[in-house]
Amino acid sequence: MSRPAALVTGATSGLGAEFAQQLARSGHDLILVARTVPRLEAKAVRLRADFGVQVEVLPADLLTDDGVASVGARLADPARPVAVLVNNAGFGLVHAFEGNTVEQEADHLQILVTAPMKLMHAALGPMLARKDGRIINVASVAGFIPRGSYGAAKAWGISFSRFANLRYRPRGVTVTAVCPGFVHTEFHQRMGASMGRIPKWMWLEPDVVVRQGLADSAAGKSVSIPTRRYATLIALSRLVPDKVAAAAGNRGR
């Protein structure tokens, strides 16, 4: 019996690397997508050695049409089915909307909205034909509060996953938005954000986020908010005025 395959975008670091590892541990072959070839190759060597699974590397820049098209073509290939798609690649912008160029804002929407939308579209056809598939969109708790273009883009991921899970789960394909709070990854360092003011209790480790995200996806949930403390914070944020929720969110991404 061949193993099911999972394609993870942004697999060279942080949450994507952790998704790849946990999916390999649970018996998935992998397709790893990111831009940095040496890091992709190193991850692949490690995963093959540690878990005995097959690992393809698929270098692609998801800010480019060619990069998205090459990943979409791999997902749509009926001869090489992909059972799990994890739309995870992303970055934040250190400045607020008015402080960025319009090109930076457009790239931000490309990586957080347009690329995941196109990859879901490519994956969905074969998944529905097989009546089997799992799609995970890595969103953020920022998608529940007024939080600039990052929060708005993540809100799209949450809203679309809620719609798509309702529509496609009865046809065998689940769609889950995983919404972490602050996680120790390279995200904030790449963004150039100083995070010293974030209290220790608000930080999560990638393994905890991914374990709960995968469990909620396997349970067919449309939204996963890892840890009870963040689920409580988000429930409370719905009860307070936007101004209060936005002030809390202003502490970081």
Ligand X SMILES: NC(=O)c1ccc[n+]([C@@H]2O[C@H](COP(=O)([O-])OP(=O)(O)OC[C@H]3O[C@@H](n4cnc5c(N)ncnc54)[C@H](OP(=O)(O)O)[C@@H]3O)[C@@H](O)[C@H]2O)c1
Binding positions for ligand X, rule: CB under 6 A: 9-16, 34-36, 39, 61-63, 88-91, 111, 138, 140, 180, 182-183, 185-187, 190
Q: Smallest distance from the beta carbon of 130 to ligand X, in angstroms? A: 26
Residue 13 or 174 with smaller CB distance to ligand X: 13
Cα–Cα separations (whole angstroms), residue 199 to 170, 182, 196, 231, 252: 41, 10, 8, 17, 11
Tokens 């809620």 locate to: 162
Residue 68 or 241 with smaller CB distance to ligand X: 68
The yes-or-no answer on residue 150 being catalytic is yes
Closest-CA residue to 120 (of 139, 130, 134): 134
Q: Smallest distance from the beta carbon of 128 to ligand X, in angstroms? A: 25
Residue 61 or 132 with smaller CB distance to ligand X: 61
- Choose, from 154, 168, 221, 230, the residue flagged as catalytic: 154
Q: Provide φ and ψ at 22, rounded to 5°.
A: -70, -35
Residue nearest to ligand X (CB): 14
Q: Smallest distance from the beta carbon of 46 to ligand X, in angstroms? A: 15
- Choose, from 43, 118, 131, 150, the residue flagged as catalytic: 150
Cα–Cα separations (whole angstroms), residue 184 to 57, 102, 159, 181, 188: 24, 29, 25, 10, 9
Long-range contacts of 122-125 (CB under 8 A, 24+ apart): 122/71, 122/72, 122/73, 122/75, 122/76, 123/7, 123/75, 123/76, 123/82, 123/85, 124/168, 124/173, 125/76
Q: Smallest distance from the beta carbon of 160 to ligand X, in angstroms? A: 14
Q: Smallest distance from the beta carbon of 158 to ligand X, in angstroms? A: 11
Residue 128 or 202 with smaller CB distance to ligand X: 202
Cite the active site residues: 150, 154
